[in-house]
Each structure stands twice: as C-alpha cells, then as structure tokens.
Chains A and B, each alone.
Chain A
Amino acid sequence: MPSPSSSLRRARPLLGTLVEISASGASAGLQAALDAAFASIEVIDRLMSFHAPASDVSRINAAGAGCAVCVDPHTFRVLQFARELGEMSGGAFDITVADVLMRGGLLPRHAAVAFDTAAGADFRDLVLLPGDRVRWRRKGWIDLGGIAKGYAVDCAIGALRAHGVASGIVNAGGDLRFFGEPQPVHVRHPEAPGALVPLGVFGDGAVATSSGYFSDHTGTAEGSAAEPLVDPVRRACVRWRQSVTVVAADGMTADALTKIVRLAPRAAPRILARFGAQAFVIDGRGVRRCGSAMPADAALA
C-alpha cells in the first residue's frame, strides 16, 4: 500500500539567517529528510564560517604565504568555483576581500591582521593544489559570504533528494532553491521590505537576491546602506539602493552571479548567458530583466 502523502515546513536559525525548509512526499520519511537537510547546512556553516575559529575559512585566513592548508572537499569545490568566476569576471568576483570587510567593521578583525601592510592580494593569490589543498602565494584573507550560502542551500536540496521526497524548497533568506512543483517567487522591494514583487513561476532552480535593505549598517549621508559587498577594484564597500535577483540552475551559481551583476554590469549579460541564468534588477523605477527566460517561467514570458 502506498504510504500517505503530506508536507512539512520547518525553520531554524542558521547561516546567520532564518532557514526555512519545506518537503512534500510520502509522509514516513519527511521528518528524516528535513533533519538531514538542516544537518547538511550546519556542516557547510561550520566549514565556511568566517567567525568559527576552526572552520576551513579561518584556517586559510590564519595561514601565512607559502603554507599549504588541507580543506574539506566541500570547501575546495566552492573555492574552485569562486576561482572560475574570478577569471570569468576579470576579477569582479573576488573572495579575497575580507580585509576590506574587517576594516569596515562588517567582519570581526583577525588579531594577527596587520592592515597597513596589506599589499592587496587578489583571488589569483590563493593557489588551488591537488588533494584539496590551498596555499597563499601572497597573503590575503577570504570571506565566502557571497557564495557559501547558495552552496549550503544546494547541499540541503541534495539531502532532500537523497531522501526521495517528491518536492522540496530551501529558503535561506536571500538564497532560495526548489525542485518538484513549480514555485511562484516574490522578491522584496529594496525600498520597502513589506512590498513584494512577483517574479514569476519557476520550475527546478535557484533564486538568489542581493540587496542592502536589512543591513545593520545604515545611516549614511546618502541614506543608502553600507553593505557587506566589496568592489575588488576600489577595495571598498559598495552602496546601492537596488536589489539584484538571479535565477539559475543551482544556488551557488545564483548567489555568486548576483555579485557579478552588481559589480560587473557590463560583463554580466555574457556571464549570465554562459550559465543559462537570468537577472532581475529592482529599484524605485521598476523591474528590469536580463538573460534568457527559463521554460517554466510562465508568468512573465
């Protein structure tokens, strides 16, 4: 006899946000599937947290130039993709900007960091070695804030699929991914978080949004928020009153591409096309889209 079908929705504070996971399918395995999905996010959080002293990110940041650091295969995969995007975007996507975030008070300072002598390492200075090892050619500091949350969401989706649920949704604030039932997706308006912009109905895929509206660091003269997003060319935090949303096949790609759209607007259409992704920019003037519409994007086609 087929087991009865139902759905479960749960939320936990993880990744510095509230992570909501929904799953539907045969009711017997749903709770185990949700537990596994949350657990997989905790693993990524532990590996890639800037704050946890034992994380791979902290160990890389503690290492001096020339020392090889062995990391988890998950971390290595994210570093590899970050490297690829760095090359593709001519350096607009760069994970080695943590020193700028520390200087700006957006990340806690590393005790050992001597900022005055920071020579400005870039993404090419973190050399990826065989056997999931990395080494600084020139010393820098990484933060995976622009990419790891999307990857964590991918891992949670993988856990739900591995448990055989029929459809699932993982929403980690700015990073959303789903499979199974096509999903209507709304984006908060950057000028009014209580206002929602309907983007359409999407099939299997990921949606990531980058915006400064809930940034804790507000109150600048221009009224815009200082955000934890760094322009690697100027090595300074950007200020913006728009929001960028990217729809892509997976969460890590969507998450990272929002930063490329913001920091490299000229190169973005080419890079979006390469990943079959589309971007939406929302501001006070309205909604703009760039890139190909995905087949299940029925509402706005």
Chain B
Amino acid sequence: MKLDQWVWLPVAAISTSVYATTYFSTEEAQQAIFPGEKLTPAFFTLSDAQAKKIEDTTDVNVRHKDIKAWKASGGGWFILDEVVGKHEFITYAVGLHADGSVKQIEIVDYRESYGYEVRNPDWRRQFTGKTAAAPLKLEQDIHNISGATLSARHVTDGVKRVLATYAIALK
C-alpha cells in the first residue's frame, strides 16, 4: 500500500436543506436541569425600559420581550430562550440557582437551514463538482458532521442576555 500519495476520491457533496436535532421537550429539559423539582410557569413581558437596560448592559439585542421563565420549587429559575443566525435557529434552556448563578445550560433544539441557497442551481453548481447533487432532507441520515458548528457565539451572547434579564427583571 502506498502511503505517501494524495489520491483523488470520487465523492460528491450532498446539499442539505435542513439539518436539525431536537434534544429535549421543554418538560424533559426542566427535569434534566431540576430533577424532581416542580416548575411553575412565570412568564412575563419586559418593559421597554427593561429591554433597553438589558441591551445596554450586554450589547446583545433583545429580540423578544416575552420571557419564558419557570420558577423551580427549590428557588431556581428555568428560562427558555432562542438565538437566530443567518442559517441557524437554536433553542436553549438556562437553569439558574436561587442566587442567580448558572446551574446548567442545555441545547433544546438545533436547526440549520439553507433553503434559499439549496434551491438556487448556481449556488449548487459551485461545489457539487462533477455530480449534480439533489437537495435532500437528511434529518434522519446525517448525525456526525465533522466541522465547526454555526453559532456558539450566538448562544454565548444569548446566555449573557438571559443573565441580564434575571438581574433586571427577576432578582
């Protein structure tokens, strides 16, 4: 076997329109972060002044003023939030201890979508090489993608926003 040669492989790219994973239902995420505790909905709406204060302290946009929060029987908080990027949509849950420090962060739902590009033949032609690749819906088939995830930064920013929301509206 020759080890020291680069060999071209006959492999074509597959264009995905959607790559998505659901990790939890909301209830499952609540039980994962606060096992055995009872969670009571405590939804609320930020005032314009509160939203502005959150944006000023974090430098992160407040996209939704309606906050999905639950109070845990042990005194903690469960907050469900989402971040949206150019191609991604991520729902995540932040569990806070009674003192407002982070207990746990879980991704609830991850979705990448490339609808426009995938339908556009010019876009597809640039990377498919010799084989025409049909847009496929591969939620079931593709699990292991080696390569960067889209938006750790968006989630990090979102968590900052959640912590500021706690400090300004729940504390």
Contacts and interface: CB of A to CB of B under 8 A. Distances in A.
B150 to A, nearest CB: 6
B30 to A, nearest CB: 14
A197 B145 CA distance: 9
Nearest to A17: B152
Contacts, number: 172
How would you classify the secondary structure of chain B's contact residues: helix, strand, loop or mixed? mixed
Q: Which of B11, B112, B118, B155 has the most CB of A within 10 A?
A: B11
A245 B146 contact: yes
A174 B15 contact: no
B124 to A, nearest CB: 8
Contact of A286 (B11, B114, B118, B153): B11
A210 to B, nearest CB: 9
Nearest to A38: B104
Given A186-B144, A191-B126, A273-B3, A287 B150 contact: no
B9 A288 contact: yes
A300 B9 contact: yes
Given A196-B14, A284-B127, A171 B144 contact: yes
A173 B146 CA distance: 6
Interface in B74-126: 87, 90, 92, 104-107, 110, 112, 114, 117-118, 123, 126
Interface string B135-152: 000100111111111111
A192 B153 contact: no
A184 interface: yes
Interface in A1-52: 9-13, 16-18, 20, 22, 31
Contacts of A273: 3-4
B49 interface: no
A13 B150 CA distance: 12
Nearest to B113: A194
Contacts of A211: 147-148
B17 to A, nearest CB: 8
Nearest to A281: B6
Contacts of A208: 146
A13 B152 CA distance: 6
How would you classify the secondary structure of chain A's contact residues: helix, strand, loop or mixed? strand
Contacts of B147: 173-174, 187-188, 193, 209, 211, 213, 243
Interface in B48-92: 87, 90, 92
A20 B108 CA distance: 11
Contacts of A187: 145-147
A198 interface: yes
Given A18-B107, A281-B6, A287-B8, A194 B144 contact: no
A20 B152 CA distance: 12
A290 B141 CA distance: 27
A13 B159 contact: yes
Interface in B1-38: 1, 3-9, 11-17, 19, 21, 23, 32
Given A9-B23, A13-B152, A184-B144, A272 B13 contact: no
Given A198-B14, A289-B9, A13 B144 contact: no
A192 B3 contact: no
B92 to A, nearest CB: 8
Given A11-B21, A12-B107, A286-B9, A195 B149 contact: no
Contacts of B15: 192, 194-196
19 contacts: A10-B32, A18-B110, A18-B155, A171-B146, A174-B147, A185-B145, A185-B146, A189-B127, A192-B123, A194-B16, A195-B128, A195-B133, A196-B145, A199-B11, A214-B148, A269-B3, A281-B6, A286-B9, A287-B9
Interface of B: 1, 3-9, 11-17, 19, 21, 23, 32, 87, 90, 92, 104-107, 110, 112, 114, 117-118, 123, 126-130, 133, 138, 141-153, 155-156, 159
Top 7 A-B residue pairs of the complex, sorted by shortest distance between their CB atoms: A194-B114, A188-B147, A11-B107, A269-B4, A195-B13, A214-B148, A209-B146
Given A184-B144, A290-B6, 14 more contacts: A12-B104, A31-B32, A169-B143, A169-B144, A186-B142, A186-B145, A189-B127, A191-B126, A191-B127, A196-B142, A197-B11, A287-B11, A288-B7, A300-B11
